[in-house]
Chains A and B, each alone.
Chain A
Amino acid sequence: MTRSQTAPDFALYRFPHRHLLGIDGLSISEINSLLDLADAYVAQNRQHDKKSDVLRGRTLINLFFENSTRTQASFELAGKRLGGDVMNMSVSSSSIKKGETMIDTAMTLNAMHPDVLVVRHPDAGAVKLLSEKVTGAVINAGDGRHEHPTQALLDALTIRRRRGRLDNMTVAICGDILHSRVARSNIYLLTTMGARVRVVAPRTLMPAGIERFGVDVFHDMRAGLTDCDIVMMLRLQTERMRGTFVPSTREYFHFFGLDREKLSYAKPDAFVMHPGPMNRGVEIDSDIADDINRSVIRDQVEMGVAVRMACLDLLTRGATVN
């Protein structure tokens, strides 16, 4: 009944990987394949009939060992719009003995023959470990502070659709770089695609050796934002912090929170991104977050579904081809 959509021509896209575990290591053409296909899905998602049958008969399991509302919803919708069967599983990692549960859960689910497992886990590397134990494709929906590849892809798609390109864009990633998987995936993706990346944070929130990631390092917001095209704000991840990294949210907002005055140092047409959920008044002023002329936060959410459809599409079709 709802197979009216014609799926994009698969032959145009190249993604020769079994899993999507991170951006690190992907080539320009692979990233472009994902973004091009996602672009096509944006169009599909804006039509009255949003459904296709690319994933018909396929099973997608969202396996979340860490709480998530938006990412899980986005993957669920992506799977359903492609006609797949989607199941959500949330495993509270605190209540059970952690690691054994993860492998055990993976093995149990694997016996149910899922075609795709979308996995989020609080520990870096856990999704890769899980991918070694299952037969289907695995998409990393965030592992500790390591990577969150679909977030970087949706951010890239947002930028590309706004500016028509990624190369030579100057992107300032600001805030809690240390604890952020979003920052790492974005740094890998944007530097691969030829963008100039700046990171801006107090020294306590900067990962060791960050200067060797091919980025310019700033500890002052105004200097870091000067003449940049895009300002990417990160959430202050207090739940991942042990001890004090910043003295107070008041002081943090004063020096590193994005307000109109600091944003004025960026290019006049610079826009603001945030992976959500936002801490208003901590890293971003509500005034900017809600300004539809400057903030593209809602675009990012829309691109998220399209990007995840593209990932599901390429990984499942890749499995058929292989």
Chain B
Amino acid sequence: MTKRTAFVNARLLDPASDLDMTGGLLAEDGKITDFGPDLFKDGVPDVDQLVQCDGLCLAPGLIDMRVQVREPGEEHKETIESASHAAAAGGVTAMVCLPNTEPVIDDISVVEFVARRAREIKMVKLYCYGALTRGMEGEQITEMGLLADSGALGFTDGIKALTDPLVMRRALSYARTFGLLVIQHPEDPDMVDDGVMNEGELASRLGLPGIPAVAEVMMVERDLRLLSLTGGRYHASHLSTAASINAVRRAKFDGLDVTCDTAPHYFALNENAVSDYRTFAKVSPPLRSEQDRNAVVEGLKDGTIDAIASDHAPHDQDSKRLPFVQAECGIIGLETLLPLTLELYHNGHLTLLEALGKVTAAPASILRLPSGRINRGAPADLLLFDPNRPWTIDEEKFRSKSNNSPFHDRPVQGMAVRTFVEGRTIYTAV
């Protein structure tokens, strides 16, 4: 018995095919089977679910390629279930979690655990990365081939940089054997030392140890040198500085297979957000100068920065209500990814399709996922949203178990109205 959902009177948006038109879409058994301006011209067929879109935008659901779900290990901060609800409310239909759980995702049994939990919860699609090295200790590469076979989408040591150049060379080289993606948190920990915020006048005034901006580009440039030696696919996460974006721009020009992303806080905020010791804006890498923020916007505009990921990092009150140097790094982002990404559209930096592409087609292409596009045969992972609806971010309303967001009280535009995974409604805005 075929399950059918009809979406009528939608503004269909597909960044992958540059599609922007009014029409209808039909999903059958979780897949998009047809769409177009005249699809329901002769009336809507008999369906299980009829979605009146009223001219709102129907686009691929967001793919958040960098999320920490804290399960297993730190369920008091977030669980796969709470993160899934947060994702659905944010218009995210697929998310990829980092391996820095307890235990670390460096063994197929943990990959399978995550997959099983996601199946049980049956909300958004949950993928994971495998650790690049065992225990994320930076020494021994993991069973990348087996982990990939069991579902790991890429390999990274999470919020730790892989520092040893020889291990990185071997990791890149070995990953290339299977065409696997290596993902780096690019920050030289020796340069970070005890730093907790961007180095500069503000850090000096606050009396906080600074992290120089070069800590990022030093690691990116080293990795790019290694990549030119080994070949393979390399992805730099959450770029925050002008220099490292320039390094990636040059590497792309030189033909290296490199991609990168940034997080909304690196284009929506600068270091001033930590004035007054606001630990909710403490993040790794740190929020940077206004010049760096502008460079992130430029990088998004010219395509150097392929994707935007929320870098969702939930922390409970006890981890954040501390003196700044002791507080944990991280910002939650699943529920603010859409409106903050749309700021780039509302501010005139990107077109609506370009902005959406950073959170749909681009991560899908980097991760080689079949979703993230409106295509016959693609999964019906869809987002119905109003790109203009104004609202104010309210920490009280987060579905995440944690509320560590520096965006509380920020007026934004653009809201998820209804979220679908394989044609099934998983979220409806009230």
Binding site for B on A (CB under 8 A): 24, 98-100, 102-103, 121, 123-126, 128-129, 143-147, 181, 184, 207-210, 212-213, 242-243
CA distance A24 to B276 in the complex (A): 12
Q: Please give me the residue from chain B that is nearest to A102 by CB atom.
A: B323
Q: Enumerate chain A residues within 8 angstroms of B318, measured Cβ to Cβ.
A: 100
Q: Enumerate chain A residues within 8 angstroms of B201, measured Cβ to Cβ.
A: 208-209, 212-213
A208 partner, pick from B194, B199, B277, B323, beta carbons under 8 A: B199
Q: Enumerate chain A residues within 8 angstroms of B276, measured Cβ to Cβ.
A: 128
Binding site for A on B (CB under 8 A): 193-194, 199-208, 210, 212, 276-277, 318, 321-327
A-B pairs with the 3 shortest C-beta distances?
A: A209-B201, A146-B207, A125-B277
Q: Enumerate chain B residues within 8 angstroms of A99, measured Cβ to Cβ.
A: 321-323, 326-327
- Are A123 and B323 neighbours in the complex by a CB distance under 8 Å? yes
CA distance A262 to B323 in the complex (A): 40
CA distance A125 to B207 in the complex (A): 8
Q: Please give me the residue from chain B that is nearest to A121 by CB atom.
A: B323
Q: Enumerate chain A residues within 8 angstroms of B210, measured Cβ to Cβ.
A: 208
- Are A125 and B326 neighbours in the complex by a CB distance under 8 Å? no
CA distance A24 to B203 in the complex (A): 14
Q: Please give me the residue from chain B that is nearest to A123 by CB atom.
A: B323
CA distance A35 to B278 in the complex (A): 32
- Are A184 and B207 neighbours in the complex by a CB distance under 8 Å? yes
Q: Chain B at the A interface: mostly helix, strand, loop or mixed?
A: loop
- Are B323 and A181 neighbours in the complex by a CB distance under 8 Å? no
CA distance A121 to B322 in the complex (A): 12
B277 partner, pick from A98, A100, A129, A210, beta carbons under 8 A: A129
Q: Enumerate chain B residues within 8 angstroms of A207, measured Cβ to Cβ.
A: 203-204
Q: Enumerate chain A residues within 8 angstroms of B212, measured Cβ to Cβ.
A: 208
Q: Enumerate chain B residues within 8 angstroms of A129, measured Cβ to Cβ.
A: 277, 321-323
Q: Enumerate chain A residues within 8 angstroms of B322, measured Cβ to Cβ.
A: 98-100, 103, 129
Q: Please give me the residue from chain A that is nearest to B198 by CB atom.
A: A208
Q: Please give me the residue from chain B that is nearest to A143 by CB atom.
A: B207
Task: Quote the shortest CB–CB distance from A26 to chain B (angstroms).
Answer: 15
- Are B200 and A243 neighbours in the complex by a CB distance under 8 Å? no
CA distance A100 to B200 in the complex (A): 29
- Are A181 and B200 neighbours in the complex by a CB distance under 8 Å? no
- Are B325 and A144 neighbours in the complex by a CB distance under 8 Å? yes
Q: Enumerate chain A residues within 8 angstroms of B204, measured Cβ to Cβ.
A: 184, 207-210, 213
Q: Enumerate chain B residues within 8 angstroms of A100, measured Cβ to Cβ.
A: 318, 322
Task: Quote the shortest CB–CB distance from A190 to chain B (angstroms).
Answer: 15
- Are A125 and B193 neighbours in the complex by a CB distance under 8 Å? no
Q: Enumerate chain A residues within 8 angstroms of B327, measured Cβ to Cβ.
A: 99
- Are A146 and B323 neighbours in the complex by a CB distance under 8 Å? no
- Are B200 and A124 neighbours in the complex by a CB distance under 8 Å? no
Q: Please give me the residue from chain B that is nearest to A65 by CB atom.
A: B323
CA distance A260 to B54 in the complex (A): 84
